[in-house]
Amino acid sequence: MVDMKDLKKSRHRHWALRVFLVLFLAFTLAFLGWSCWVYVQIEDYAGLDQAAPSDAIAVLGAAEYDGLPSPVFRARLDHAHDLYSRGIAPLIIVLGGTGGDAYSEGAVGRDYLMSLGIPESDIIAETQSRNTEEQAHRIAVIARTNRLRRLVVVSDGTHLFRIHEICADDGLDVLTSPRTRVSFGGTTAESERLAHEILSYTGWRLHLHLP
């Protein structure tokens, strides 16, 4: 004889499992759709150079090694120097704090640009920010303090969509200009950067502070 109590429990477990699977599938599809949309935005910004006459050029920091810019950071600084030389803006803002040694990315970037012939008076070095979100917010503070209305932001192509959105959220008028697209680390590293940007942008939108 079938125990009705056991039958009800079994049906309840099956129903709960179906609900869980449906919700899990819906969440997975929603996340995939969202990720695809963000990916398209990232790629659009990565391939778009909006550089036009502005009040300043802002260079997002990257790693430095004992006072010298890393290859990625140097590529960003060289691109900013090129924009400055073309008359895009009379001022360059270099951002980035210390990475655990005695040097900050902002100061290293300033010294490198000065070695290329740019006067120190045309450079602002921000030396406290520790991540992209902090750098974007510091750009807003510097812009308001110095009455800068429009800025060109320089970074890696995959980085620019997130930076643009954070700056726009702070009320800034920003244009984006990707550094020369040279691969550092190969295809795997590029895929990791894209995944990082998708997750970081999603975390920012959800007001989460992801590392």
Asked if pLDDT for residue 120 goes beyond 90, the answer is yes
Could you tell me if residue 41 is inside a domain?
no
The mean pLDDT of 70-83, rounded to a whole number, is: 95
Using 50, 70 and 90 to split pLDDT, how confident is the model at 151?
A: very high
**Confidence (pLDDT) at 178:** 95
The mean pLDDT of 45-60, rounded to a whole number, is: 95
| Number of structural domains the chain divides into | 1
| Cα–Cα dist 90/36, whole Å | 38
| Cα–Cα dist 196/130, whole Å | 16
Asked if pLDDT for residue 32 goes beyond 80, the answer is yes
| Cα–Cα dist 37/44, whole Å | 11
Segments forming the whole domain that contains residue 200: 46-205
105: nearest Cα among 85, 90, 125: 125
**Confidence (pLDDT) at 143:** 95
34 residue type, one letter: W
| Cα–Cα dist 61/137, whole Å | 13
| φ and ψ of 183, to 5 deg | -75, 125
Using 50, 70 and 90 to split pLDDT, how confident is the model at 4?
A: low
Q: Tell me the CATH number at 105.
A: 3.40.50.620
The mean pLDDT of 60-68, rounded to a whole number, is: 91
Contact of 108 with 116, CB cutoff 8 Å: no
- CA separation, residue 13 to residues 4, 21, 117 (Å): 14, 12, 72
Q: Supply the DSSP symbol for 92.
A: E
Q: What is the pTM of this model?
A: 0.84
Asked if pLDDT for residue 24 goes beyond 80, the answer is yes
Asked if pLDDT for residue 205 goes beyond 70, the answer is yes
Asked if pLDDT for residue 16 goes beyond 90, the answer is no
| Model confidence pLDDT, tens digit, residues 96-117 | 998 777 899 999 999 999 999 9
